[in-house]
Structure 1
């Protein structure tokens, strides 16, 4: 079991904290869509649920949680699907900071969303990727969120909120500290906080729901955690109907396809389904 993060005495620095801390949060939502109409309805549902407006709200909350100030927001909905948002942020208030950018003009028709929030030397971004299998009934929604900060603010503070903001079957989380800063004696500091695993920052009730694998390179300050939902209930993966409308054989076949999709994403390799 991962130990709790320890408190650490503040270190006096020579100047600005130049360490760059980057959290990459990658999530997948899996769904079974039997027909073309179901696939299109699922994509439309995802685009509505995670459009640029809602994504912007999520990223603004992330900035608030980590104690950053939003300087600029850029967002875009795409055709035929997907969205992006980028947010520029700063560790402290900035004099004469630019006002949030106006949304870009978009062509007519349904659009996915993209949002970018910019910070002073720091940023938060999210990109969404709805897609589906060309032959089988699997549809997948992926969202990639990156929170990169300079200074003392830590993106790890927002990890619990990000997890709760998405309906997640698979999560891949990366955290890395780059660069160095100096104390008042000129000694280099390559990390300014204690961490043994990203799991230290995942709420206990969330950890109880997922199988997790860690791959960490401690000497490089690189931390990687993969999570796969433990409990499988077929009704949670059917779009617009329940398993009672399926024969027992259909239920088994669909469950096998869904489990295989989740395993392939979790382990990062294609698997040949047993006959």
Structure 2
């Protein structure tokens, strides 16, 4: 059913499978006042404005060998940004033998892959708790490709492009293609877990959970940082400025926020 790097299935016409990677990242910060919260949101808006997000997506397009047809980008008021990139088949330098292997993809290099129709999008969502305290930043990136290459090969680069406390990653293969005898193929590569596309040095930093529906070609992985250092969640100051009871309270609130996002439920219910 599935090809290998040395023995691939001969298809009838173009590979019509659609492969979609959805990468969601969360950054969490404790902001004690309106001024701190506004400063944090302004910092995030500057760090991940539409121009920088466009640069990231252009590198993703290069990695999958895509030719950019159109870019639509927007910075929103009061905060947030979106970029949508329509791409088509790009120049083929080489079809790599590792495209079927379940292993982490590269960081940005030369264009080596090809696809036909595709799109890449990113949307950002800065937000904050109504009682001040917790502020969060979320970025959603979708990479959808048709053809031989899986967008999972861009995952390593995307992880390195953002400072991330929580990651949720979805991968799905839709549709079917046919071999030369007319037999339908609903997936053209082996995959047991999205984790196998994440480098070991990254996996060592996170707790990870898989929820996979193999018969439907649906794969889901969520990740939460293992190590907790309160200084990484304070904006403009360090924990040395806090009294021990306040530091303990902030730690509890930040940890609960991370757990609620990771497990997908309100912990106090």
Q: Same fold judged by TM-score > 0.5?
A: yes
Distance in 2 separating the partners of 1:177 and 1:242:
45
1:203 aligns with 2:176: no
Residues 185-200 of structure 1 aligned to structure 2 (within 5 Å): 185-200=181-196
Residue of structure 2 in register with 1:97 after alignment: none
Aligned to 1:164, which of 141, 153, 160?
Answer: 160
Q: Is the 8 A contact 1:123 1:147 kept in 2?
A: yes
Residue of structure 2 in register with 1:45 after alignment: 43
Distance in 1 separating the partners of 2:6 and 2:206:
29
Q: Is the 8 A contact 1:32 1:238 kept in 2?
A: yes
Distance in 2 separating the partners of 1:38 and 1:130:
14
1:145 aligns with 2:141: yes
Structure 1 residue runs of 4 or more that deviate by more than 6 Å after TM superposition:
none
Q: Secondary structure at the match of 2:77?
A: coil
Residues 171-190 of structure 1 aligned to structure 2 (within 5 Å): 171-190=167-186
Distance in 2 separating the partners of 1:8 and 1:67:
21
Distance in 2 separating the partners of 1:8 and 1:83:
43
Q: Which runs of 5 or more residues in structure 1 are unaligned?
A: 1-5, 94-118
Q: Is the 8 A contact 1:8 1:194 kept in 2?
A: no
Residue of structure 1 in register with 2:30 after alignment: 32
1:231 aligns with 2:227: yes
| RMSD after superposition | 1.5
Q: TM-score, normalised by structure 2?
A: 0.88
Distance in 2 separating the partners of 1:208 and 1:181:
37
Residue of structure 1 in register with 2:10 after alignment: 12
Distance in 1 separating the partners of 2:13 and 2:61:
23
Q: TM-score, normalised by structure 1?
A: 0.86
Q: Is the 8 A contact 1:67 1:153 kept in 2?
A: no
Aligned to 2:260, which of 253, 261, 264?
Answer: 264
Distance in 1 separating the partners of 2:227 and 2:196:
22
Q: Is the 8 A contact 1:14 1:184 kept in 2?
A: yes
Distance in 2 separating the partners of 1:225 and 1:78:
30
Distance in 2 separating the partners of 1:186 and 1:152:
18
Distance in 2 separating the partners of 1:9 and 1:124:
30
Residues 74-153 of structure 1 aligned to structure 2 (within 5 Å): 74-93=72-91, 121-153=117-149
Residue of structure 1 in register with 2:211 after alignment: 215
Q: Is the 8 A contact 2:34 2:132 kept in 1?
A: no
1:73 aligns with 2:63: no
Residue of structure 1 in register with 2:97 after alignment: none
Distance in 1 separating the partners of 2:75 and 2:138:
15
Distance in 2 separating the partners of 1:66 and 1:234:
38
Q: Which runs of 5 or more residues in structure 2 are unaligned?
A: 92-114
